[in-house]
Chains A and B, each alone.
Chain A
Amino acid sequence: DAMVIQNPRYQVTQFGKPVTLSCSQTLNHNVMYWYQQKSSQAPKLLFHYYDKDFNNEADTPDNFQSRRPNTSFCFLDIRSPGLGDAAMYLCATSRIRGTNQPQHFGDGTRLSIL
């Protein structure tokens, strides 16, 4: 089945130690998104890629960066994780930008900060 796959499902890192989360998709969708979801809250969009065009949300901290080396893969880099960055990180895709196509989500990576 075509899908969005996130690895790892659980990630533990130390305060201030850089961490990278990965996402891959077999849907061949043009748009990939990264969301942060804290406990009992709705997901919050951090940024999205349309092909290689990167779009940052205005309130996304500089500590969060992303890379998309090809259509299938997208990475979320947290340069210096703080305790407040502990959350579920969700990757999503949609087929075309500029339309109201639904977004397809992976199962997420739960990040813990020691």
Chain B
Amino acid sequence: GDSVTQMEGPVTLSEEAFLTINCTYTATGYPSLFWYVQYPGEGLQLLLKATKADDKGSNKGFEATYRKETTSFHLEKGSVQVSDSAVYFCALSNIPQGGSEKLVFGKGTKLTVNP
């Protein structure tokens, strides 16, 4: 079945450091890929998405590129801020290929940014 594997944390960085959180997936066909962010005590917010190979999703300084050849969707940000401290989930949706309605999530990566 479909699956998502993401880098396990926790990840601790200093402010203005470069961030990479690795995400790889297993799925048939062409799933859509997402990064969600969850701030403490809150629900999930869609951070960015990509729907086909070579698409780049971007938002709030975060970027991720849909790489079909490496089945990856790594999240990057050039300069993190304290306010980026949160848990980040990589997820896929593969419904038209017969996947179920549910989002398939990675296990989440907790990011802490220190001043």
B20-62 interface mask toward A, CB cutoff 8 Å, 1 = contact, 0 = none? 0000000000011010100001111110010100000000000
Tell me which residues across on chain A come within 8 A of B41, comparing CB atoms.
110
CB B43 to nearest CB in A, in angstroms, measures: 4
Tell me which residues across on chain A come within 8 A of B31, comparing CB atoms.
100
Across chains A and B, the number of contacting residue pairs, with CB separation under 8 Å, is: 60
CB B90 to nearest CB in A, in angstroms, measures: 10
- Stretch of B11-19, B74-82, B99-107 at the chain-chain interface: B99-107
Known: A43-B44, A90-B44, A107-B43. A100 touches B96 (CB 8 A): yes
Interface status of A113 (Cβ within 8 A of chain B) = no
Report the count of interface residues on A (CB-CB < 8 A): 27
Report the count of interface residues on B (CB-CB < 8 A): 26
Query: Which partner residue on chain B sits nearest A46 by CB separation?
Result: B102
- B105 & A98 in contact (Cβ 8 Å cutoff): no
Tell me which residues across on chain B come within 8 A of A42, comparing CB atoms.
89, 105-108
Interface status of A103 (Cβ within 8 A of chain B) = yes
- CB < 8 Å: which of B34, B43, B102, B105 contacts A57? B102
Bound Cα distance from A113 to B94, whole angstroms: 35
- A102 & B89 in contact (Cβ 8 Å cutoff): no
Known: A41-B107, A43-B105. A98 touches B96 (CB 8 A): yes
Bound Cα distance from A102 to B93, whole angstroms: 8
CB A90 to nearest CB in B, in angstroms, measures: 5
- CB < 8 Å: which of B43, B101, B102, B110 contacts A105? B43
Q: Which 4 A-B pairs have the closest CB atoms?
A: A100-B32, A42-B105, A45-B102, A105-B43
**Could you give 23 example pairs across A and B, Cβ below 8 Å?**
A6-B43, A33-B101, A41-B108, A43-B103, A45-B103, A48-B101, A55-B101, A57-B102, A90-B43, A97-B101, A98-B95, A99-B95, A99-B96, A100-B31, A100-B32, A100-B94, A100-B96, A102-B32, A102-B49, A103-B103, A105-B36, A106-B43, A110-B41
| Interface residue ranges, A against B (CB under 8 Å) | 4, 6, 31, 33, 40-43, 45, 48, 55, 57, 90, 92, 97-108, 110
